[in-house]
Amino acid sequence: QQQVKQSPQSLIVQKGGISIINCAYENTAFDYFPWYQQFPGKGPALLIAIRPDVSEKKEGRFTISFNKSAKQFSLHIMDSQPGDSATYFCAASLWMDSSYKLIFGSGTRLLVRP
């Protein structure tokens, strides 16, 4: 119930295309859904996040769509660029053992071809 399932495992997109990464969860106690971006050899860094009372959040070319009833959320990267090539992790925040924890998805490796 504490899992966050992420797909696809890898994704190849042409420059200018749309990249879509999907995540699903079961535990309705999750109350915050961030996406982290990780470049090779670096640590993950927060990219964009959404609260469950909002259905969509957009920051530049990055958009999170959130479907509370389906318990699914997705990251859309519009006009994908080679510089977007990275691993993307969805996550969900949960109050557990007297503190908030982040439960991460398994990651999606995105390659944007020139």
Partner 1 sequence: NAGVTQTPKFRVLKTGQSMTLLCAQDMNHEYMYWYRQDPGMGLRLIHYSVGEGTTAKGEVPDGYNVSRLKKQNFLLGLESAAPSQTSVYFCASGLLAGHTDTQYFGPGTRLTVL
| Sites of contact with partner 1 (CB under 8 A) | 6, 9, 31-32, 34, 36, 41-46, 49, 51, 89, 93, 95, 97-102, 104-107
CB burial readout 32-56, b (16+ within 10 A) else e: ebbbbbbeeeeebeebbebebeeee
- Between 20 and 102, name the residue whose CB sits nearer to partner 1: 102
Min dist CB 80 to partner 1, Å, is 22
Min dist CB 58 to partner 1, Å, is 18
- Between 8 and 16, name the residue whose CB sits nearer to partner 1: 8
3-state secondary structure 20-73: EEEEEECCCCCCCEEEEEECCCCCCEEEEEECCCCCEEEECCEEEEEECCCCEE
- Between 15 and 100, name the residue whose CB sits nearer to partner 1: 100
